[in-house]
């Protein structure tokens, strides 16, 4: 398996250019993506990098073979937000992180995301973090002060800021940096901080404490993927300071400026044209949408209609259109065996910096041409029209024969009595439920539309 002759191009944040992807080792392609901090349900914005990098993972598996791709995505399970949640709820930290980690996996699974090969939790790697911090101190890139250990950006000044394209001086001028008397430079960031008795803490040469946020990804990527690996991904909100600090730590620990070869960042998400915020009332978790009856496959298709480097706008209209499209495609491909591979034009669009919008245009062409087998294989490459994702479209609502018969009989009766009020009542109920009513001499057909809601048929 594998179509190694496919040339993948990716927009590399590090070089600001679209580059041909050349893996360090084609038999061991490695990708690391920053995962969630687990203190609550994942909101819709958290799902975007998951879907984006799931598509990249699927493409890499297609091109290099599934056994030659390793994907690691972490869980941050030591963090001040988690500590605060525990303090306010009176629950154990371990219970909160275990529950929210499972929620995340369940919710992302509903969006058709494959589970990464490795899903390390930060708390499993504390000794390795302590070791990397000791190494950075020994090499002159970090210093201990008042129970804290800080990274010294001056020791890496030439390269610090390269990823986000800012100089240290610019950053200090415009930064919201934490001012602390023990910092030698205001941009220095925390590698280790002291923990009071009620907070999670681990023994270290600097006393009982816990790691800073950035060190965990440097350590886990090193442990799982090695000193250098192919792709590092995440939302563009992580570019600074998180990814910038990871690069500084890892390159200084490794003694060179290798670390990740290609950096990919997805843009943010909006809802109905506005930034998602609790104050605007447009803040949704993925679970909120699933519970409201938006199928995971529909959410996934809406996400993929926008290129990952453009801001994405979630709208109800897009969801209804995506649902109608998927119903049509599922009807067309029902009972069909997929072609042996995705259409060449689909693979080419996907390999061009994950042009998912271009792929979807190709899927519409395949559907219009009636190429059901090609459509199915091509959609499967994107994680769409899979058997696992289909329950929503094949539910009990798929059989309308009983309702069709009721309407047919009512119409026959109306022809005799010339009283069409019952026919009109039934039609109104079906239309309100999102069914298109098609009546002809031959009989009655009910066809579900985009907003079909089977609950509205109860009590007929």
| Per-residue pLDDT tens over the stretch 272-325 | 999 999 899 899 999 999 999 999 999 999 999 999 999 999 999 999 999 999
Domain 9-269, classified CATH 3.40.50.620, yes or no: yes
**What pTM was computed for the model?**
0.85
- Domain ranges, ordered by start, for the chain: 9-269, 293-394, 399-457
Q: Which of 376, 385, 379, 343 is nearest to 360 (CA)?
A: 379
Within a 10 A sphere around the Cβ of 356, how many other Cβ atoms? Answer: 21
Omega of the bond leading into 141 within 30 degrees of 0 (cis): no
pLDDT, one tens digit per residue, over 334-366 is: 999 999 999 999 999 999 999 999 999 999 999
pLDDT band at 158 (very low <50, low <70, confident <90, very high): confident
Residue matched to tokens 């009983």: 402
CA 267 to CA 237: how far, in whole Å? 8
pLDDT band at 396 (very low <50, low <70, confident <90, very high): very low
Please give the helix or strand (H or E) that residue 50 lies within, else none: helix 44-64
β-sheet bridge partners, residue 444: 439
Percent of the chain with pLDDT over 90: 77
């Amino acid at each position: 398996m594998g179509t190694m002759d496919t040339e993948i191009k990716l927009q590399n944040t590090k070089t600001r250019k679209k580059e041909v992807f050349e893996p360090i080792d084609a038999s061991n392609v490695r990708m690391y993506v920053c995962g969630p901090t687990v203190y609550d349900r994942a909101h819709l914005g958290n799902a975007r990098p998951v879907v984006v990098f799931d598509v990249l993972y699927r493409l890499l598996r297609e091109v290099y073979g599934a056994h030659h791709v390793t994907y690691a995505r972490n869980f941050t399970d030591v963090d001040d937000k988690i500590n605060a949640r525990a303090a306010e709820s009176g629950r154990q930290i371990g219970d909160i992180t275990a529950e929210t980690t499972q929620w995340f996996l369940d919710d992302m699974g509903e969006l058709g995301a494959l589970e990464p090969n490795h899903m390390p939790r930060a708390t499993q790697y504390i000794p390795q973090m302590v070791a990397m911090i000791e190494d950075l101190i020994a090499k002159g890139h970090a210093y201990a002060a008042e129970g804290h250990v800080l990274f010294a950006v001056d020791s890496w000044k030439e390269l610090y800021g390269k990823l986000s394209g800012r100089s240290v001086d610019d950053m200090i001028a415009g930064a919201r940096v934490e001012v602390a008397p023990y910092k030698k430079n205001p941009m220095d960031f925390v590698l280790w901080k002291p923990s009071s008795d009620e907070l999670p803490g681990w023994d270290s040469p600097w006393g009982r404490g816990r790691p800073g946020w950035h060190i965990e990804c440097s350590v886990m990527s090193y442990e799982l993927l090695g000193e250098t690996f192919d792709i590092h991904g995440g939302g563009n909100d992580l570019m600074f300071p998180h990814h910038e600090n990871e690069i500084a730590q890892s390159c200084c620990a490794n003694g060179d400026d290798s670390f990740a070869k290609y950096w990919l960042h997805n843009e943010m998400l909006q809802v109905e044209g506005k930034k998602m915020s609790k104050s605007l009332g447009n803040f949704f978790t993925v679970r909120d949408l699933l519970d409201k009856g938006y199928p995971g496959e529909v959410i996934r298709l809406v996400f993929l209609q926008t290129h990952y480097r453009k801001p994405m706008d979630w709208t109800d209209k897009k969801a209804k259109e995506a649902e109608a499209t998927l119903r049509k495609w599922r009807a067309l491909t029902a009972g069909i065996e997929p072609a042996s591979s995705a259409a060449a034009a689909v693979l080419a669009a996907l390999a061009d910096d994950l042009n998912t919008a271009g792929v979807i245009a190709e899927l519409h062409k395949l559907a219009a041409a009636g190429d059901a087998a090609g459509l199915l294989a091509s959609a499967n490459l994107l994680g769409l029209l899979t058997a696992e994702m289909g329950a929503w479209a094949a539910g009990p609502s798929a059989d309308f024969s009983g309702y069709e018969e009721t309407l047919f009989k009512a119409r026959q009766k109306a022809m005799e009595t010339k009283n069409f009020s019952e026919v009109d009542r039934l039609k109104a109920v079906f239309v309100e439920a999102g069914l298109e009513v098609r009546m002809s001499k031959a009989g009655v057909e009910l066809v579900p539309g985009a907003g079909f809601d089977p609950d509205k048929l109860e009590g007929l």
